[in-house]
Amino acid sequence: MEKVRQGDYILLMDEKGRKIIVKVKGEGVFHTHLGTLGLSDLMDKKFGSIVKTNLEKKFYLLKPTLLDFLKKMGRPTQIIYPKDIGYMIVTCGLSSGDKVIECGTGSGALTIFLANVVKPRGKVVTYEKRKEFAETAKVNFERVGLDKYIELRVGDLLEEEVDEGEYDAAFLDVDAPWLLVEKMYTALKPSRYLFSFSPSINQIQKTVLEMKRKGFIDIKTLECFIRHMIIEETRIRPDSRVIGFTGYITHARKIDVR
Amino acid sequence: MEKVRQGDYILLMDEKGRKIIVKVKGEGVFHTHLGTLGLSDLMDKKFGSIVKTNLEKKFYLLKPTLLDFLKKMGRPTQIIYPKDIGYMIVTCGLSSGDKVIECGTGSGALTIFLANVVKPRGKVVTYEKRKEFAETAKVNFERVGLDKYIELRVGDLLEEEVDEGEYDAAFLDVDAPWLLVEKMYTALKPSRYLFSFSPSINQIQKTVLEMKRKGFIDIKTLECFIRHMIIEETRIRPDSRVIGFTGYITHARKIDVR
Amino acid sequence: MEKVRQGDYILLMDEKGRKIIVKVKGEGVFHTHLGTLGLSDLMDKKFGSIVKTNLEKKFYLLKPTLLDFLKKMGRPTQIIYPKDIGYMIVTCGLSSGDKVIECGTGSGALTIFLANVVKPRGKVVTYEKRKEFAETAKVNFERVGLDKYIELRVGDLLEEEVDEGEYDAAFLDVDAPWLLVEKMYTALKPSRYLFSFSPSINQIQKTVLEMKRKGFIDIKTLECFIRHMIIEETRIRPDSRVIGFTGYITHARKIDVR
Amino acid sequence: MEKVRQGDYILLMDEKGRKIIVKVKGEGVFHTHLGTLGLSDLMDKKFGSIVKTNLEKKFYLLKPTLLDFLKKMGRPTQIIYPKDIGYMIVTCGLSSGDKVIECGTGSGALTIFLANVVKPRGKVVTYEKRKEFAETAKVNFERVGLDKYIELRVGDLLEEEVDEGEYDAAFLDVDAPWLLVEKMYTALKPSRYLFSFSPSINQIQKTVLEMKRKGFIDIKTLECFIRHMIIEETRIRPDSRVIGFTGYITHARKIDVR
């Protein structure tokens, strides 16, 4: 039975589904919209149990998942959504031990999910040219405890050398992905997948045409759309609150053209 | 540089995108719709290279991914799609080392992707009550080399004991998921995710109500929809060939109500 | 060339696409977020021309369509959307001269579009049991000048007699449509269409089963979903602002079972 | 009570929903997949009733709607779908008496629905440059009895004069809509709507930019998507058979820029 320990992050969810992530640290008191919780009272509580505030309001005490963290993260950039990350992971069959390269770390959302799958012996090498984004991402990596599987390189990948034929999968989440197609071709093992995530059809067309020129085949572009359902005893209907669009996933496989 | 070895499965893709999976074995000849390939000629070829048939027709020689295998698998049942599998893996933050339980192995598509993530130290325990389905699944597990991370139990989970509080995630893909909600509750560690995949709204409503009664919170039902884009130099448009519906994903978290 | 006359409603649209509907009346001044317009200055201007406020801000002077009115209407109830109205009109081939019955006037959005098609010799008979809704609807009918083609009856259709076999099409937009299926059956000419608009799947199932029992065939339920595209010189992408769900359309044809 | 008369078209629908349109003519016998029906026996039957073949198989005898005709029509071209036609009719508030212009008659599907709304005093002027398409369209117009409201002109609109400022709405369904934007601008009354239906995003971008240059405002591009639901006593789910894409609707309003 897992219990809350000093230093743990915990997820508190109220009965309306609102969620808070807290680090259990010291003897303080934690203030919520439903009253206060003594942090020391949370110690040794079992994950999955119910705690009450000084106002007798109920919170569910949960172990935060990566996704819970992600939703609370510092986000200087638009993030890739779980639906898109999941699709890419399954498409390339990502697995423990794989070595992957990413360009465009952003807030590190995709990086974190990739690291979570390739750990403990795999690795994610990720490039970010904007220093302040890299800082935020670094904090995020540490918070979820995945920093040791991630190699964050601050700089413009366009001007750097990559290890040739070293990576099991490659991911682009940048404004001008077509410029990096060749670099990713070099980095990938033959037969492996390059993914590019872009909202704009103009960018995608340029990227797809560059992929064709540079030795990629089996090029596909697609969109993944999510809609929730309201399922109650007397009411069943789709939820009208929907994110209408996040971006397109383009993927392709490297072929050895030399 | 990875090369084709005796016993390897290879993926051959023609210029129109049609794909074939072959096992390289012995000295035979492989017959395709574009002529023959000597299997021995494929030996020691690099993955990612191009091979030609006796009619000088081109094939791309690729390393098959799990998804490539999945598309060619024996499928006695409707399968869960990559989009749905990916969404679930990301939602629960599945990772190497996790121990998961599944009921309704079917052809083993979901099982395989779960095993691919939790390996090498994790495990998938999967139940299938229809013997002939279990047989097919077993063959599929072996073909993709993941059988050692999968424990396939033939029998009705309803009548079996599960290890209590042992699993990091639980998956239902059965006709009457509501009947197994309690069993899954028992099997899961507190705070962890139960997923149920169902096409029918009636089944889902029963399952959701049972989840509420049995100690699950944060219950959500959603659908994931994929549409491809045609991206060419002079033509950009959504693809009209679409799978209009596969099923709904319902997920919930176990709370300790005792 | 159509010109603005005393008493006309006009649509003013600014350069960002914000729209205002005004009635040109008297000598007053109209205050906008971009300055004032003298109403008398608008007189005799051509529709389609550009007018300027005292602050030299531009407005396009347009003739409001029904849809423009609809968007600015008093709306005590959720409205049926244009996409749904259009689908129904085309499905039954509604035409000038047709006589239709509606139950659940609401704010009168559907009523207005039906009247606009069946006029000048056709008619819409519409029932609304909530007096205050009927009042609002009446005002809306007059504003768009279609009141003479609409017969608004305040009361519960369940307790009223309908003209037998008189109507070319029937429309339900009520909470419990299944209760009115029989009444609508009576009202329709044989072979004609009954439509029901509902957000909730539970309601729809009851209604569909009642339709089957009561002599309707060719029963279909469907949803219509709209997404806008952002089309600019350097940016093309779907719009993420989307109405995720409005309701389902169910339609069926009356067959003579006596 | 409407009865079948010599010369009428009738719709026969079997219990599985398969539909046939027949013209009742003479004394012949009509052969179906479920046996034969004497055409003279159908005479004077009421629409909405049930008829039986010589094999005692049931058919529902219905009055065909425009949509029923449309589905059975000669179709040399891809057609615009009801969802799209309905959206356009509602957006511009099309009404009896309106005068509209269309370029790209194709098989005449859109033309027919437009004529059905603007009749009896309105008119559709439609241009088709491919003679054989015009022939098919003409037959279709006559079959549904709307030919007297349609003026079909065979020729290239690009090289013809249009009546200036005469039309209440304009519709483009051609390969290169941008070339006709100016012509349509001339034809429309100020403040009125131009619609263009196109599957390809490249075409749309060119058309949108040309609209902006030529004096159109309030330019919108959108897609309309339909999915059916399977609603049965014990099974409720979305239908997986879906038309994934038909085309985008672009609409804009003419402003007087001279």
How many whole angstroms separate alpha carbon B235 and alpha carbon B28? 43
Stretch(es) of chain B classified as CATH 3.40.50.150? 69-254
Q: What stretch of H or E contains B192?
A: strand B188-198
Predicted local distance difference test score (pLDDT) of residue B80 = 80
Q: What is the mean pLDDT of residues D14-34?
A: 89
Task: List the single residue in D with minimal CA-CA distance to B237.
Answer: D200
A107-125: pLDDT as tens digits = 999 999 999 999 999 999 9
Say if residue A59 is exposed, middle or buried (CB neighbours under 10 Å; 0-12, 13-18, 19+).
Answer: buried
Stretch(es) of chain A classified as CATH 3.10.330.20? 9-64
Given a cut of 70, the residues of chain A with pLDDT beneath it are 1, 74-78, 258
How many whole angstroms separate alpha carbon B189 and alpha carbon A47? 9
- D58 φ, ψ to 5°? -85, 135
How many whole angstroms separate alpha carbon C109 and alpha carbon C106? 8
At residue C136 the predicted structure's pLDDT band, cuts being 50, 70 and 90, is very high
Helix ranges (DSSP H) in D26-149: 39-42, 66-72, 82-92, 109-118, 131-143
Instruction: Note whether B200 contacts D: Cβ–Cβ < 8 A.
Output: yes
Predicted local distance difference test score (pLDDT) of residue B75 = 65
How many whole angstroms separate alpha carbon D215 and alpha carbon D210? 9
Interface residue of C201, C229, C250 to substitute, partner A, most A CBs within 10 Å: C201
Per-window interface: D 121-180 vs C, CB < 8 A:
165
Predicted local distance difference test score (pLDDT) of residue C78 = 67
Indicate the fold that domain D69-254 takes in CATH.
Rossmann fold (3.40.50)
Q: Are D148 and D124 a contacting pair, CB within 8 Å?
A: no
Say if residue C1 is exposed, middle or buried (CB neighbours under 10 Å; 0-12, 13-18, 19+).
Answer: exposed
D63-118: pLDDT as tens digits = 999 999 988 876 656 678 889 999 999 999 999 999 999 999 999 999 999 999 99
At residue B188 the predicted structure's pLDDT band, cuts being 50, 70 and 90, is very high
Least confident residue range of A243-252, B70-79, B180-189, C200-209:
B70-79
DSSP percent split of chain A into helix, strand, coil, nearest 5: 30, 35, 35
Q: Which chains touch D (3 or more CB pairs under 8 A)?
A: B, C
How many whole angstroms separate alpha carbon C60 and alpha carbon D217? 9
Q: Are D47 and D62 a contacting pair, CB within 8 Å?
A: yes
How many whole angstroms separate alpha carbon D84 and alpha carbon C86? 8
How many whole angstroms separate alpha carbon C96 and alpha carbon D119? 7
How many whole angstroms separate alpha carbon D173 and alpha carbon D184? 12
Task: List the single residue in B with minimal CA-CA distance to A80.
Answer: B90
B77 pLDDT more than 80: no
**CB contacts, 8 Å: C49 with chain D:** 190, 255-256
At residue B26 the predicted structure's pLDDT band, cuts being 50, 70 and 90, is confident
User: DSSP states of C124-168 as a string?
Assistant: EEEEE--HHHHHHHHHHHHHTT-GGGEEEEES-GGGS---TT-EE
% pLDDT > 90, chain D:
85
At residue B71 the predicted structure's pLDDT band, cuts being 50, 70 and 90, is confident
| Residue D20: both structure tokens together | 């046939």
**CB contacts, 8 Å: C89 with chain D:** 86, 89-90, 117
Query: Left, alpha or beta for B83 (phi > 0: left; psi -120 to 50: alpha)?
Result: alpha
SS (H, E, C) A108-121: CHHHHHHHHHHCCC
How many whole angstroms separate alpha carbon A171 and alpha carbon A56? 48
DSSP 8-state assignment for residue C179: G
Instruction: Note whether A222 contacts C: Cβ–Cβ < 8 A.
Output: no
Least confident residue range of C50-64, D72-86, D87-101, D237-251:
D72-86
Task: Say whether the ipTM exceeds 0.90.
Answer: yes
Written as one letter, the residue type at A62 is L
DSSP-assigned beta bridge partners for residue C225: D225
Task: List the single residue in B with minimal CA-CA distance to A88.
Answer: B86
CATH class of B9-64: alpha beta
Peptide bond into C120 cis (omega under 30): yes
| Residue B15: both structure tokens together | 């210029």
Predicted local distance difference test score (pLDDT) of residue D78 = 67
